[in-house]
Amino acid sequence: MHPSRPSDERGIALVLALFVLVVIAALIGAVFFIAQLEVRTGANTVSSLQAAQAADAGLEYASANWSRAWAQQGVGNTTGIDWVQLGGTSGYFSDSITELNDQLLMVRSFGDARDGSGGVLASRAGGMLFKVAPPDFGLSAAVTVQGNASIGGKDTVSGYDVVPSGGAWSANCASLTRSDQPGIRASSNFSASASGSPKYFVTPSSSASDTSVTTSVAKVNGVFSTLEGMADLSLTTSTLPSTVAPVLSGHTCATGSSNPDNWGDPTYAASGVDGTSHPCASYFPIIYVDGGGGTVMPPSGTGQGILLVNGNLKFNSGFKFYGVVLVTGKVSASGGGSTGNVYGALLSQGDATLNGNERFDYSSCAMTLAAQAALIGRPLTVRPYIRF
Amino acid sequence: MRDVMRPGRRGGFTLVEVMVALVLLGMVSVVLYQTLISTQRITDALHQRGKMQSGLRAGGLTVPGELQQLTIGSSSTLDSVTDVSAVTDTSITYRAMRGFYTLCQATADATTLTAVRVLPSPFTSEYRTPVATDSALIFWEGDTLSTYDDAWIPVGISGVATTTCSYPSSPAATMAAYTIGLSGSGIPSSYALGKLTPGAPIRTFETDQLLLYASGGSEWLGLSVNGGAAEPVLGPLAPTSGTVYGFQLTYYDSSGTALTATSANIPKIRTIGVMLRGVTSARVAAAGRTRALIYDSLMAVVTLRNAPRN
C-alpha cells in the first residue's frame, strides 16, 4: 500500500510566492535606495553650508583674535591657526595668515563639516584681505560719556587740542593737524555743579544729547576685544600696581607682562645711554584691567598708551596718562589731593561724575600716537573678501 | 490494495483542477505584471525627481558662490568699479574673478606688472592663468596708516607671459611669475606708481553672464563667457509661465526692499535672491495612472560680501 505523499505533488505556488517576494523586496529596496540617495544628497547640501559657515567663522576669529606677530613674521611668511571646533557642532575651521607686505595680510580660512568620527563631509574656503592700521576710536572730545555727565569740585575738562609738554611730544606732533573739540560729549544730560570751580572749555564746551556718542561707542566696541587680546599687560584689581613708572633693563626698556609697573615714559623720566636716550618713550603699551565687577583705582605715577578698563574707573591718586582711556562702566573722580591728568581722550560707557581735582585735556596727538603703536588688522574698506 | 495497483490515477488532475490552476496563474501573472510596471514607474519617478533636485541643490550652491564676491562700486573714489554691468529678472552680467595674484616687484612702468599667482584652494577650479581678454584690479596703497584712502585701480590686460622674479619675501625667493601687459596707457597717472608696493593684491576678471535661455525645446540656466554663446549650467528648468521663470533673480537694497531690475538700480543692489525652478526631463508616474512632469524649486539669497556697507 502506497498512501499519497505530499512530496510527490507538482505545483508552482512556492515558486510563484518566492518570485513575488523577490519582486516586492526589489521594489522596497529600490524605494529605500532612492530615498537614501535623496537623504544623502540633502545631507551633502547641509554639510556644504556648514563648511562654508565654518570658513566664515574662521575669518571672524582671525579678526577678533588679531596678533601683532602676524604683521611681523616677514613678508611672504605664513602663520597657521590649528583646527578649531565651533562649539560642539560639526563645524571646524583653520586659518592661515600670510604677510603680503608691511601693510597687508591675507587670511585664508578653511572650513570643514565633519561626522562624529572626524571624517570630513564637506570643505569650503574663504579669504579676507586685512590692512594693519591704527584703531579708529572715533573720539572727538576730552571726555565722551554714554549716559549723564556731571562736573564739579576742581575738575577741568578741556577740548583744546593740546600738545602735551615734555618728552618728545612737540617733535612727534609737529606734523599732525589739530582741531579743538568740545570738552565733554554726553549722550544724555550734562550738568555743572554750582559749588567748587569746575571748568570746561571750548565752544561748545559741552554737548549734551550728543548723537555722535553712539557712533564713538560703536567704533570703540568694534576694537575693544581685539585690543584686549593684544594687550601687553593684562591685569586685575589685585595685580594692578600701586605705582607706575618707566623701567629700564640696562639701556633698553623692560616691557611686557613681566614688568606690569612699566606703562611707558611720556615725560622722559628715565634716561638710557649717557643720560640722553629715553628707551621707554616709544613704549605705548596696551593695558587691560579687569575690574571683576568692581571699581578700578588707577595707580599713581605716569604712563602712556591705551588703557582698557572692564568695569568702573575712579580717579583719586594723581594718575597721569597720555593716550586713550576706554572704560566699559562708569567714570568718577573725587578727592582734592594730587592733580591727575589725562591727555588724549577718555570714553565712559556709563555715567561720568567728575568731582575731584583732575584735568582731562583733549589731545589728538596723544591719541594718534597711542593708536599708531597698536596697529590692528582691519578688513580692507573695499573688496576685502576673496573666494578661495 | 486495488488502488495501489493503479498508478495512473495518482499523478493526474481533473479538468476542473487544471482550469482553476490556470485562472489562478493568470491572476497572479497580472498582479505580478502590474507590480513590475509600477515598480519601474516609481523607480523612474524617484530617479527623475532625485536628479532634478540634485541639480537644483548644486545650482543653489554654485550660483551664490559665483555672485557672493561681487562688488557694487561706492560713490567714493575708493572703488568706483561696479562688477555688475546689467541685470534683468532672468540674467545678470558681471565681472567674474578668475585669478588672484600679488605684485612681485615694484613697478616703474605703468603698462607692465610682474605678478605671482596665489594658489587657490581646490574649491576654486575656475581660477586660471590670465589671458589677454581679461581685466584686472590692482590694489593701490594710500596712506599706510589709513584704510580710507586705498583704491583698486581698474586696468585691461593686453598680454601675459611667464617669467620669474625675486619675491621680496623674508628670506627672498625666486618664484614663478607672470609678466602682465596692461592695455592702453595702463595705470592712470593719477595713481602714483610708488604706491604700488610689492605684495599688493591683483585680481583678474572675465565678463560672464548667467542667464535663462532656451535650447532643444527646454529652458536652461546658462553661462556666457565674454559675450560668447551660452553653455548649459543647469536644467532643464520649468518653462516660463507669465512672469514666473525657471531662473529668476530678485535684487534687494540694503534695507531689504526689492528693486526693479534696471540699470539705474544697480548701485543700490546689496543682496540677490536666486530662484531656481526645476522640472524632470521626462514625464513620470503621477497620481492614478497618469504620467506628468514633476516640478520643484529652490531659493537662495546671496549677500554681496564686497559691496559697500550701507
CB contact under 8 Å between A385 and B68, yes or no, is yes
- Chain B positions in Cβ-Cβ contact with residue A99 (cut-off 8 Å): 199
The pLDDT of residue B273: 96
Nearest to A147 by CA among A51, A213, A62: A213
Query: What average pLDDT score do residues B171-191 get?
Result: 89
A39-43, B25-29, B186-190, range with the lowest pLDDT:
A39-43
Q: Is A298 helix (H, G, I), strand (E, B) or coil?
A: coil
Residues of chain B with pLDDT > 70, as a percent, come to 92
Which alpha helices (H) appear in chain B, and where do they start and end?
Answer: 15-67
**DSSP code per residue over A26-93:** HHHHHHHHHHHHHHHHHHHHHHHHHHHHHHHHHHHHHHHT--GGGGGS-TT-EEEEEEEE-TTSSEEE
Between B5 and B65, name the one with better pLDDT: B65
Does A384 contact B at CB distance below 8 Å? yes
* A249 Cβ contact partners less than 8 Å away, ≥ 6 residues apart: none
Q: How far apart are CA A22 and CA A147, in angstroms?
A: 79
Q: How far apart are CA B46 and CA B24, in angstroms?
A: 32
Pairing of strands A120-133, B291-292: unpaired
Burial A213-244 (b: 16+ CB within 10 A, else e): beebbebbeebbebbbbbbbbbbeeeebbeeb
Q: How far apart are CA B82 and CA B79, in angstroms?
A: 8
Residue of A nearest to B142 (CA): A103
Query: What average pLDDT score do residues B148-162 get?
Result: 90
Pairing of strands B91-103, B84-88: antiparallel
The pLDDT of residue A5: 55
Q: What value, to the nearest 5°, has the Cα angle with vertex B244 and ends B239 and B249?
A: 110
How many Cβ pairs closer than 8 A exist between chain A and B? 147
Q: How far apart are CA B26 and CA B46, in angstroms?
A: 30
Record the cell numbers describing residue B212, joined without a space. 535663462
pLDDT under 50 in chain A at which residues?
Answer: 1
Residue of A nearest to B78 (CA): A382
Residue of A nearest to B126 (CA): A388
User: 3-state SS of B108-125?
Assistant: CCCCEEEEEECCCCCCCC
- What residue ranges in chain B does DSSP mark as E strands? 84-88, 91-103, 112-117, 135-140, 151-167, 173-182, 201-215, 218-225, 231-237, 247-252, 258-259, 271-279, 284-285, 291-292, 295-303
Residue B229 C-alpha, separation from nearest chain A C-alpha, in angstroms: 26
Q: Cβ distance A252 to A278 under 8 Å?
A: no
The pLDDT of residue B1: 46
Please compute, for residue A296, the number of CA atoms within 13 A of its CA located in the half-sphere on the CB side: 30
The pLDDT of residue A110: 95
Residue B310 C-alpha, separation from nearest chain A C-alpha, in angstroms: 12
Burial A129-158 (b: 16+ CB within 10 A, else e): bbbbbbbbbbbbbbbbbbbbbbbbbbbbbb
CB contact under 8 Å between A41 and B146, yes or no, is no
Radius of gyration of chain A (CA): 32
Nearest to B180 by CA among B201, B154, B162: B162
Record the cell numbers describing residue A38, joined without a space. 535623496
pTM for the full predicted model = 0.76
The pLDDT of residue B79: 66
Q: Is B256 helix (H, G, I), strand (E, B) or coil?
A: coil
Q: How far apart are CA B1 and CA A387, in angstroms?
A: 96
The pLDDT of residue A301: 93
Q: How far apart are CA A137 and CA B271, in angstroms?
A: 30
C-alpha distances (whole Å) from A62 to each of A34, A57, A232 are 42, 9, 19
Q: How far apart are CA B197 and CA A360, in angstroms?
A: 41
Q: What is the complex's ipTM, to 2 decimals?
A: 0.83
Does A383 contact B at CB distance below 8 Å? yes
- Chain B positions in Cβ-Cβ contact with residue A37 (cut-off 8 Å): 50
Q: Would you call A77 exposed, middle or buried from its count of C-beta atoms within 10 A (0-12, 13-18, 19+)?
A: middle
Residue of B nearest to A43 (CA): B57
Q: Which helix (H) or strand (E) holds A218?
A: helix A212-230
| Segment 100-139 of chain A within 8 Å of chain B by CB | 100-104, 106, 108, 110, 123-125, 129, 131, 133-134
**DSSP code per residue over A225-273:** HHHHHH-SEEEETTTS-SEE---EETTEE--STT-TT----TT--S--G
